[in-house]
Amino acid sequence: MQDNLNPIHVFIACFSLASVAGISSLVRSGKELTVRTILAAGCYSGLLGLVIGLLWYNYFAPANIFFLIGVSCLAGLGGVSLIDVIVQVIARGGVNILIQPKDKKNDD
């Protein structure tokens, strides 16, 4: 059955299952659901799953294509967490890094 799978179908499966996993992770988090957040979670997680599928296709395609689709789906679950961190950093004004020299104490 794996020989009958077209690569395009595999990539569509990677994108769509990762997208659904990302949306389900967003729903499970209990955050406010708007059309924008649902689309963002679906697109980001789907693209993350698609990238995993594209990178690993040549390695897993001959032997175990369903493992590749499963890993892409799991990547979609973690994609929402990563986008939440990025949105929170941007909403708070970015990252502020302050470097200060260490105070030298006189022991004399």
In the DSSP assignment, the letter for residue 2 is G
Question: What does the pLDDT read at residue 15?
Answer: 92
Nearest CA-CA partner of 24 in 85, 86, 73: 73
Q: Report which residue type is found at 71.
A: V
Question: What does the pLDDT read at residue 16?
Answer: 92
Question: What does the pLDDT read at residue 73?
Answer: 86
Report domain extents, the chain.
Answer: 2-91
Question: What does the pLDDT read at residue 24?
Answer: 86
If phi > 0 it is left, if psi is from -120 to 50 it is alpha, else beta; for residue 67 that is alpha
Question: What does the pLDDT read at residue 56?
Answer: 86
**Would you write out the chain's pLDDT as a tens digit for each of its 108 residues?**
555 678 888 889 999 999 998 888 888 877 788 898 888 888 888 988 999 888 888 887 767 888 888 888 888 887 767 666 677 677 777 666 677 787 766 555
Nearest CA-CA partner of 73 in 27, 26, 37, 22: 22
